[in-house]
Amino acid sequence: MKSKTRFDRRRFLELLSVAGVAVYLPGCGPDDGQPPNNPPASSKKALVLGGGLAGLTAAYDLSKQGWDVTVLEAQASAGGRVQTHRAFENGQYAELGATRIPDVHDLTIAYAEEFGLKLVEFQDGTPLYYLGGNRFVHAEGTPWPIDGLSAEEAMEGLGMWSTYIAANFEKFGNPRDGSFPLPGVVDQWDGKTMIDYLKDQGATDAFLPLYASDNGSEVHKIGALAWMALEVADQDWNLTYHVEGGNDLIVQKLLEKLDGKILFEKVVKSISQDDTKVTVTVDAKGTTETYEADYLVCAIPFPPLRDVTFSPALPDDKQKAIDELYMMTAARGTFQTKTRFWKNDPLGELGGLKLVKSDTRAERVWDLTNTQTGDTGILVAYTQNENADAFGAVPEAEREAFMQAEIAKFFPEIEAEKSSFHQKVWAQDPWVKGAWTAILPGQWWMMAVIPRVEGRIHFAGEHTSIWAGWMQGAIESGKRAASEILKKS
């Protein structure tokens, strides 16, 4: 996705809805962005299912209003898909999940500020391209060395974002003022992928691999509407940040605030509700336990939620959304290297977070030491869609060799430079079974259904937000769910 101008955090546009999706945005409520005040009442109880960023956010907001909150987390640790791996030498680390914080993601930045966490900017640099076996860098103002591009594409390259995408923003509407999607947009684009959309704008077949190498191969799968909603919402994205020391420090700060309110290794088995309460049954390492509350925030990703029994049953459309919502597959093969050898590449010094943009199985290679000190490096092959599936299909013991061979196509130094390897395949994580939500062609109807309140059950998680796959989406959804409950009470 393209970025344009620096974001002023004091400039908030009211984000009311996306196809019926209620959205929480600071500055839009009667208490200047804070949930409505409620008198302290420890008798008000809320259960939160899921200790990821969305669930922790909802619990934090409710607890600040005097509610008795209990978070039930299936795993032995919290954070969900905000995971920082710290087993590398020299104190270096790698993100296994959420990595970037755009400067337009105000809620994420606000948490960093509230918790006293330092944000460091990912520095720009010259990326390496490896497309069709051609290894090159691109110099501004020179033609892109890709056969089959149109004359305009050959000169503009990824700058075609302005023509193919940004030029059409007004035709779609803007989620930030509640106008997305404008009348007729769903009928026109709901049945198409983002790649279909680009072709309809005149993109050549030769341009598509270039676009995917920059944005990820998910563009071949995700629906055009979901992609364009985020493009419009984040069109002012300019700078990209990261929490110094690791993004999971946001999670750690929330855990400190919620000390004693989180119970681990509680696997939800059933949820029932009546006119007065919600009851949850869990498996606690072989023992059945029951919890009751006035309201419930369900922040469990939909794939594992399919194993939970609801009584009474959820409406047909909500159950259909739970059963059919697609989780994009993504995987990361991470190498620590002895040096940052790419700074001395024969083509010149390479740099930037997106260090390599390729059409190999390695896909995009990110330099996660872009914001870290030291001489050693952290390179992560960040794969999506079919590339992630291919990596995950390789036996675990053979994945290092598989990814090393892919990276060696453009970085033959990797064999001599590698010092350690770590891998994460999100589709094989039983607690999420995917990396993030992707609304597929024909599924826009889900956007109104997924976050809809069902009696005393409120739904949160990146899958309920237009910012699917981002910490912003998790935080926004948790705040929205908490606000819904506070307004009810």
Known binding residues for substrate: 100, 382
Contact 449, 469 (CB under 8 A): no
Per-residue DSSP letters for 75-88? SSS-BTT--EE--S
Per-residue DSSP letters for 94-132? EESS---EETT-HHHHHHHHHTTPPEEEPPP---EEEET
Could you report how far apart the first and last alpha carbons of the chain are, in Å?
40
Q: Which of 469, 445, 435 is nearest to 225 (CA)?
A: 445
List, as residue ranges, the binding site: 73-74, 97-100, 268, 382, 462
Give bridge partners of residue 102 from the DSSP assignment.
Answer: 240
Distance, in Å, from the CA atom of 320 to the CA atom of 324, rounded to the nearest integer, reads: 6
Looking from the CA of 291 toward its CB, the CA atoms found within 13 Å total 26
Distance, in Å, from the CA atom of 43 to the CA atom of 164, rounded to the nearest integer, reads: 55
Distance, in Å, from the CA atom of 372 to the CA atom of 121, rounded to the nearest integer, reads: 11
Classify 302 as helix, strand or coil.
helix
Classify 223 as helix, strand or coil.
strand
List, as residue ranges, the binding site for FAD: 73-74, 97-100, 268, 462
Contact 331, 424 (CB under 8 A): yes
Looking from the CA of 282 toward its CB, the CA atoms found within 13 Å total 22
CB burial of residue 459 (10 Å; 0-12, 13-18, 19+): buried
CB burial of residue 137 (10 Å; 0-12, 13-18, 19+): middle
Per-residue DSSP letters for 244-291? TT-THHHHHHHHHHTTT-EE-S-EEEEEEE-SS-EEEEEEETTEEEEE
Contact 340, 375 (CB under 8 A): yes
